[in-house]
Amino acid sequence: MDSNFILVALIIAVALAFDYINGFHDAANSIATVVATRVLSPRHAVIWAGFWNLCAVFVLDTGVASTVGKGMVDLKIVTPYVILAGLLGAIVWDLLTWWWGLPTSSSHALLGGYGGAAMAKVALTQGVWRIFDALVISGWLKMIAFIIIAPMLGMTLAYLLMVAVHWIFRSTMPNKVDRWFRWMQLASSAVFSFAHGSNDAQKTMGIITSVLITGGYLETFIVPKPVIWAAYIAIAAGTMSGGWRIVRTMGARLTRLKPRGGFCAETAAAISILFPTYLHMPVSTTHVIAGSIAGVGSVHRLKAVRWGLATNILWAWLFTIPATAAVGAFCMLLIKVLVGKT
């Protein structure tokens, strides 16, 4: 068995491990609202979310995978070691922020680690002054734009939906309204979990397809069927494992939710994820659901949202890409020292 095959197999295993951790880390996004409103127990909620994560495999294309795999980093300078270093950077950041209970973006952790590792590779082979040659600048500009657009869209849609619900049911007893929305929230949480799986699983597909190309096992960027299934199964399994520290932050500490609010937040977030997925853009489900929950809370009054906690979350968002880029670059340097290759 040749060393190239072993290396590629190892990186694919690490990529699927990241996908599992992504689901584990982002389980909070999929189930926080439905748990906070007590529509489902935590155990039933993660099974529900994981099932709908997996269902996305039957519907959507692999446009996001293509953007991640070849639209962010120049494949001409990518090697299996670059991808391995990027994955390690993302995994380290995801585990740290899970431990701290911060709902940061696994998507941006992956992209940051990948970009940082690629820039380190260029620095080692071509010189520090050429590090930005590793990046596809247009792809990064679009992604950075959606860091702002996606959560703002979620917040705005959630606010408008909440206002519409209050107006439509203004003459109905609140307890009766919440009984109806407990059932409706099952549907909205399913759609949101579907949207989460559709966007996030594709990021791992893009990385695995890239390593198959750089390893010489594929000639063109077409995601193989087994890769698609493996990525969706891994993220669904991770979601079913849950991430309870972040559930508490998202579902209870950011603002208080009732079933009608949970429905509005999940529906707004699902739309705000499916729209960029249609445009083949990777977005952060964490950013979107946090913005949507804040939008629901702000309908009552601005003080209903714990803006101090929201500020801490925002700082974690801002640091995710540079922090994971630094860890990815460090891993690339470490691989160079230990293996002698880049």
Mean local confidence (pLDDT), 83-106: 81
- The answer to whether 271 and 58 have CB atoms below 8 angstroms apart is no
What are the beta bridge partners of residue 260? Answer: none
Mean local confidence (pLDDT), 204-218: 91
Report field, pTM of the whole predicted structure over 0.95: no
% pLDDT > 90, the chain = 26
Residue (of 316, 324, 329) closest to 290 by Cα position? 316
pLDDT in tens, 245-297: 444 544 444 456 678 888 888 899 999 999 999 888 988 887 788 788 888 87
Is the predicted pLDDT of residue 316 greater than 80, yes or no? no
Query: What burial class does residue 42 get, using C-beta atoms within 10 Å of its C-beta: 0-12 exposed, 13-18 middle, 19+ buried?
Result: middle
DSSP letter, residue 340: S
Which two three-digit tokens encode residue 311?
A: 């500020």
Identify the pLDDT of residue 257. 67
Is the predicted pLDDT of residue 69 greater than 90, yes or no? no
% pLDDT > 70, the chain = 85
Is the predicted pLDDT of residue 229 greater than 90, yes or no? yes
Mean local confidence (pLDDT), 295-303: 68
DSSP letter, residue 277: H
Identify the pLDDT of residue 13. 94
Q: Which position has the higher pLDDT, 114 or 304? A: 114
Identify the pLDDT of residue 178. 78
Is the predicted pLDDT of residue 221 greater than 70, yes or no? yes
Least confident of 36-40, 62-66, 310-314, 324-328: 310-314
Q: Which position has the higher pLDDT, 107 or 307? A: 107
Residue 108 CA: distances (Å) to CA of 35, 282, 298, 309, 325: 26, 9, 26, 20, 10
Identify the pLDDT of residue 259. 80
Reduce the DSSP state of residue 179 to 3 states and report it. helix
